[in-house]
Amino acid sequence: MEKKIIACAKAPKAVGTYSQAVVAGNTIYVSGQLPIDAETGEFVPGGIKEQLHQVFKNLRYILEEAGYSMSDVVKANVFLSDLANFAALNEVYAQYFSEPYPARVAYQVAALPKAALVEIDVIAVK
């Protein structure tokens, strides 16, 4: 199966040895996105809600670069630095996804790159 690497200038560059996304067949695998604004290279100011919005914007930019949309997402993996932010996650998540919602997991992790409050990766299928 041929793989196509996706690189989107609107989203932050990878901070390690990985691609922003890979398309294999009709499926796109988007790497975990941090709340980094690609224009500044810095985290967006504010708290968890602002970081969540930026992460979803970054995911959307990458999906659109490859010809996908948020409605094509079938699975989301959410990594939170604190599960106390779960209600904020649900509130912001509902602004980017509608029913039927993608499958999802949400974990509290010990730490995220650059001390982010959230990181999310998605899988989408056309």
- pLDDT tens per residue, range 2-47: 999 999 999 999 878 999 999 999 999 999 999 999 999 999 999 9
Q: Residue 98 corresponds to which tokens in the numbers above?
A: 């509608």
Q: Which domain holds residue 79?
A: 3-125
Total structural domains in the chain? 1
Measured between alpha carbons, how far apart are the two ends of the chain, in Å?
16
Backbone angles phi, psi at 51, to 5 degrees: -65, -40
Decide: residue 90, CB within 10 A, 0-12 exposed, 13-18 middle, 19+ buried.
exposed
Q: What is the pLDDT of residues 72-125, one digit of tens each?
A: 999 999 999 999 999 999 999 999 999 999 999 999 999 999 999 999 999 999
The neighbouring-strand residues paired with 106 are 78
CATH of the domain at 40: 3.30.1330.40
